[in-house]
Structure 1
Amino acid sequence: MTLVRRVARPLLAAIFVAGGIDQFKHPAAKAKTAGPLLAKVGPRAGLPDDPELLIRANGMAMVGAGALLATGHLPRVASSVLAVTLVPTTVAAHAFWKEQDPEVRERQKVQFLKNLGLLGGLLLAAVDTEGKPGLAYRAHLASDSAHRAVRTTRREARHAARAAARETKLKAVQAQHALS
């Protein structure tokens, strides 16, 4: 792991670990904020009708994924989980477009944009293969390799069939000369 990754991952993860612990310990305030969004999305997503439980679960996901990202274990999965937890948090908690007070609107807008920046960092971490080819590239290579193997096998089979045909003709000619 490069020095940049070793430093950047814990820095990115820190806010999620701290926020997740806070959500787990104090879900009531967050549940009130998330209530309208959970009321809309929850039934369709098959989520339980307990906002505090969902906030605590979100908090634990943030702590777990944040710890994994910070330590460099499963960083692509961890950052993907954090990105998924960040989207509803951002929409529910920082809906600046709904605010009437200009100062509150501006504060919420800054928090919204900060979360978008965090989301961008998480998306970069989610696709970071540390210089190694990703799964899609490796699958493409495997597919190319399989296609090459099929073409090579066909070509070798054609050569073997032609060689067998030549050998058969040669044996037939030799057999005819032996009879004459």
Structure 2
Amino acid sequence: MALVRRIARPLLAAPFIFEGVRTALHPEREIDVYPQAFDAVDSAIAKSSAPGFVDARTVVRAAGAVAAGAGVLYATNRYPRAAAAALLLTTSIGWAGRKKVWELRGEELTQEVQAILTDAGLLGGVLLAVVDNDGRPSLGYRAHKFVERSQKKAAATQRELEKKAGKLEKKAKGAVQTAQKQLSVQQG
């Protein structure tokens, strides 16, 4: 299975890297699709306490750079689940509604539906990648098992200490009784 992952991860990551680089270099492609939405984002950013150089173009560029970086991380098997989650978050929004399918006819409609289904298939692959643990348990499971082992070890240590304390208590009682007998013999 490791060989399949070694081949499949770069193949799955390639379109995301390509789109991320294109978006980072040419953010207007995304902005032209939803100009009203980006105008609203620009006005919201202007009203916020964000630095003056931050606008919708900068946000789109940053999302493209994050997508390309996450694609590279996923392709090289570095933090694959986190990288896949970043890919899912950064690219699914950009791919939604690239063209208004209901306005298309004929061959253009067929091509756009095919492109949408291809994108949906890629997103499905990324969803699988998010939950793929590569034969290793998740971080939550490992943390739970660590806590469980620590609790068992602490309980075993406590039992061992209680045994030793019981033995020391018996020795102390025996020493006290011996001392009392010697004291009574000396007094008597």
TM-score (ref. length: structure 1): 0.77
Paired amino acid for 2:32? K
Indicate how the Cα distance of structure 1 residues 54 and 76 shifts in structure 2: closer, same or farther if over 3 A, else same: same
Percent sequence identity over aligned pairs: 32
Residues 34 and 92, structure 1, Cα contact 8 Å, conserved in 2: no
Residues 16 and 82, structure 1, Cα contact 8 Å, conserved in 2: yes
Deviations 1:119-162 (A, max 9, x none): 23223223333212321122112101221122123212321222
1:21 aligns with 2:24: no
Structure 2 partner of 1:122: 126
Q: How does 1:34-45 map to 2 (within 5 A)?
A: 34-39=34-39, 43=44
Q: How does 1:81-92 map to 2 (within 5 A)?
A: 81-92=86-97
Indicate how the Cα distance of structure 1 residues 50 and 107 shifts in structure 2: closer, same or farther if over 3 A, else same: farther
CA RMSD of aligned residues (A): 3.0
Alpha-carbon shift at residue 117 of structure 1 (Å): 2.9
Indicate how the Cα distance of structure 1 residues 127 and 173 shifts in structure 2: closer, same or farther if over 3 A, else same: same
Indicate how the Cα distance of structure 1 residues 94 and 176 shifts in structure 2: closer, same or farther if over 3 A, else same: farther
SS of equivalent to 2:133: coil
Residues 14 and 66, structure 1, Cα contact 8 Å, conserved in 2: yes
Higher-Rg member (1/2): 2
Q: How does 1:1-180 map to 2 (within 5 A)?
A: 2-39=2-39, 43=44, 50-93=55-98, 99-101=102-104, 110-178=114-182, 179-180=184-185
For residues 32 and 121 of structure 1, the distance between their equivalents in structure 2, rounded to whole angstroms, comes to 28
Residues 10 and 69, structure 1, Cα contact 8 Å, conserved in 2: yes
Aligned residues: 177
Indicate how the Cα distance of structure 1 residues 95 and 172 shifts in structure 2: closer, same or farther if over 3 A, else same: farther
Alpha-carbon shift at residue 171 of structure 1 (Å): 1.5
Alpha-carbon shift at residue 106 of structure 1 (Å): 6.8
Alpha-carbon shift at residue 32 of structure 1 (Å): 1.6
Residues 20 and 58, structure 1, Cα contact 8 Å, conserved in 2: yes
- In structure 2, stretches of 5+ residues that fail to align are none
TM-score (ref. length: structure 2): 0.74
Alpha-carbon shift at residue 17 of structure 1 (Å): 1.7
Deviations 1:82-101 (A, max 9, x none): 111122113342675xx355
For residues 118 and 41 of structure 1, the distance between their equivalents in structure 2, rounded to whole angstroms, comes to 27
For residues 41 and 77 of structure 1, the distance between their equivalents in structure 2, rounded to whole angstroms, comes to 27
Alpha-carbon shift at residue 51 of structure 1 (Å): 3.2
Deviations 1:7-59 (A, max 9, x none): 11111111112212322343323212133444566738x68773333332222
Indicate how the Cα distance of structure 1 residues 174 and 49 shifts in structure 2: closer, same or farther if over 3 A, else same: closer
Alpha-carbon shift at residue 67 of structure 1 (Å): 1.9
158-167 or 21-30, which deviates more:
21-30
For residues 176 and 13 of structure 2, the distance between their equivalents in structure 1, rounded to whole angstroms, comes to 78
For residues 165 and 2 of structure 1, the distance between their equivalents in structure 2, rounded to whole angstroms, comes to 58
